Structure 1
Amino acid sequence: MEEVPHATRKTVEAVEGVHLTQLAVGERMSVQHFHFEPGAGVPEHSHRHEQVGYVDQGTLTFVVDGEEFTVGPGDSYVIPGDEPHSAANRGEEPVSGVDVFSPPREDPDWMD
């Protein structure tokens, strides 16, 4: 087992109002925490990683292939690898949750 102490984690502002924290990276998956301020969002992008997520606070709106999907507290989602998608917090409260990526995103672009 490998422990990842809270003090060793680094939070970055990937885009204005979107804060991402790499929580742990294993051989086959990685997990990150996300926090979107009201009005913040990430533009359309894609990555080879399958992305599975869970929202624990607020409401997040995804756009995938022109279709909107809204997920709120307690909701989960799956985004296939290489699927272009965007996400936005259109509400008035922050959104937070957790994403799991497989294969792991050891060095995602937002860390540069």
Structure 2
Amino acid sequence: MERITAEELDSTEAVEGVHLSALAAGERMSLQEFRIEPGKDVPTHSHPHEQAGYLVRGELTFVVGEKNGEREEIVLQEGDSYVLPGGEPHAVSNDGDETAVGIDVFAPPRTDPDWKD
């Protein structure tokens, strides 16, 4: 077993007000913590990894399906979980009053995401 302690975490501000921390990673999946400040967003992007997540605190609005010209907004509340297929364009915004905090799981592992650059 490999243990990653809280002291070892390295948070990166990927875009203004969006803080990401790479957590544990195995051969088939990886974990990431996110913190998105009120009024901040993650621009539309995609990656080949399947992404499943859990919203620990706050509220987020996902915009998905833009690659086919269709656009769907999905509002997540604290305690909701979600899954996005690999390659699915998506954007996220925090329109609430508190910092949104959650955990994402990526498969295959996303051990070298572009936000670390």
Which runs of no fewer than 5 residues in structure 1 stay unpaired? none
* Aligned equivalent of 2:105, options 69, 89, 100: 100
* CA deviation profile, 1:43-87 (whole Å, cap 9, x unmatched): 000000000000011100000021000111110000000000000
- Residue aligned with 2:4, SS: coil
* CA deviation profile, 1:6-49 (whole Å, cap 9, x unmatched): 22110000000000011111100000100000011100000000
Q: Does 1:80 align with 2:85?
A: yes
Q: Does 1:111 align with 2:116?
A: yes
Q: 1:106 corresponds to which letter in structure 2? A: T
- Normalised to the residue count of structure 1, the TM-score between the two structures is 0.98
Which runs of no fewer than 5 residues in structure 2 stay unpaired? 66-70
CA–CA distance in structure 2, aligned partners of residues 108 and 72 of structure 1: 26
1:59 maps to which residue? 59
CA–CA distance in structure 2, aligned partners of residues 36 and 6 of structure 1: 19
Moved over 3 A (4+): none
